[in-house]
Amino acid sequence: MYKPLRIGFIGAGNMAFGIAKGMLSGNVLPVNIKVSAPSSRNMKRFQEVGISVTHSNAEVVCGSDVVFVAVKPHLVRLVLSEISQYVTKKHIVVSVAAGVTLSVLEELLPENSIVIRLMPNLPCLVQEGALLFTRGANAKQEHGDVLRSLLHCCGLVEEGPEAWIDIHTGLSGSGVAFVYLFAEALAEGAVKMGMPSSLAHSIASQTVLGAGRLLRDSGKHPAQLRSEVCTPGGTTIYGLHTLEQGGLRASVMSAVESATERARELGSK
C-alpha cells in the first residue's frame, strides 16, 4: 500500500508557507506536514490550514521523509549542525536558503546525504511560483522526481545546474519585487493623471497579471507581443520611447545582475 510522504519544514517564513500551501493544493494532506521554528510568531497561519507545529527541529527531522531547510542563509550552518545527527540516508534534505551552495550543505550533513538545492519565489502562495532546483552528488533522478511531484502545484518547476540557481534568485526570487515596483509606478502614473488611487492600483495589478498570463500562454517572445500592442504614431510607442529614455531596460538588467551577485556573495560568506 502506498505510504504518503511525510514533509517537514525547518523555518516558518513566507517561503515555507508558500511551498506548504502549494503542496496542500495538490495531493499532500495537512496531517503529513510538520513545521518547526524557534518562535510562535508565524505559526498561526500554518495551524489555520491544519499543519502541526513545533519548536523542535529534531522532531521535524525524525518525523519526516523530506525536510525543507527554509531559514535565512546565515542560520543554515547552525541549523544543519543541530539536525545532522538525525539525518539518515533515507532523508531528502531540500535547502531553500539563498546563496548556500551544495558543497556547503553536503559538508555540514552526514556523508552520502541526499541534498537538493531549491530556489522558489513568493507567488508559490497562489500556485503561480517559479521554482528551480539542482541535485547534489547523492541525489538521483528519482529524488528529483519526488520533489517535482510535491511541488508541481506550486507553479513552474524546472531543474538545472547549480550555476543557474543564483541567477534564478536574481531573475525570479528578487524579480517579483521588481514587478511590484513597476506595478506601483504604473498606478502612480495614473494617479498623477487624475485617476483615483484604489482604482489605479486595481487596474495596474490586473494589467500585470493579464500581460504575464498572455506572455506565458502564447509562447511568443516578449518583443513580439510588445510590437503587437504598438500602432504607428499611437499612445504605446510614445510611452515606450519615454521608458527607453529613462533607461528602463538597462536598469532592470542591472537589477537582476545585482541581485544575482548578492546571492553569490551570501553563498561565499
In 103-246, beta strands by DSSP E: 114-119, 129-135, 155-159
What's the grid cell of residue 142?
Answer: 528519482
- Which residues does 145 contact at the CB level (< 8 Å), separation at least 6? none
Q: Render pLDDT for 52-89 as a digit per residue (tens, 0 to 9).
A: 999 999 999 999 999 999 999 889 999 999 999 999 99
Which residues partner with 9 through β-bridges? Answer: 35, 68
Binding-site residue positions for NADPH:
57
For residues 42 and 29, what is the distance between their CA atoms, to the nearest angstrom? 20
Question: Distance between CA 126 and CA 24 in Å, rounded?
Answer: 11
Cross-strand partners of 157: 131
* Residue 16, phi then psi, degrees to nearest 5: -60, -45
Strands 66-69 and 155-159: unpaired
Residue of 70, 12, 8, 1 lying closest to 39 (CA atoms): 12
Measured distance CA(151)–CA(142) in Å, rounded: 14
**What's the one-letter identity of residue 80?**
L
Non-local CB neighbours of 35 within 8 Å, separated by 6+ positions: 8, 9, 11, 12, 16, 20, 43, 46, 51, 52, 53, 54, 60
Binding site residue list: 10-15, 57, 70-73
Please list the ranges in the chain whose pLDDT falls under 70. 1-2, 269
- CB-based contact 165:100 (threshold 8 Å): no
How far is 97 from 170, CA to CA, in rounded Å?
14
Cell 510538520 locates to 34
Which parts are annotated binding residues for NADP(+)? Answer: 10-15, 70-73
Of 119, 101, 121, 120, give the one whose Cα is nearest residue 109: 101
Q: List all residues 6 or more positions away from 68 whose beta carbon is below 8 Å from its beta carbon.
A: 7, 8, 9, 10, 11, 16, 19, 94, 95, 96, 118
Domains, the chain = 7-164 (3.40.50.720), 175-268 (1.10.3730.10)
Residue 255: CB partners within 8 Å, gap ≥ 6? 170, 174, 178
pLDDT tens digits along 18-37: 999 989 988 889 999 999 99
Rounded CA separation 218/225 (Å)? 9
Provide the pLDDT for residue 1: 40
DSSP codes of every residue in 38-55: SSSTTHHHHHHTT-EEES
Note the maximum CA span of the chain.
68
Question: At 75, which amino acid appears?
Answer: L
Query: For residue 232, which amino acid is it?
Result: P
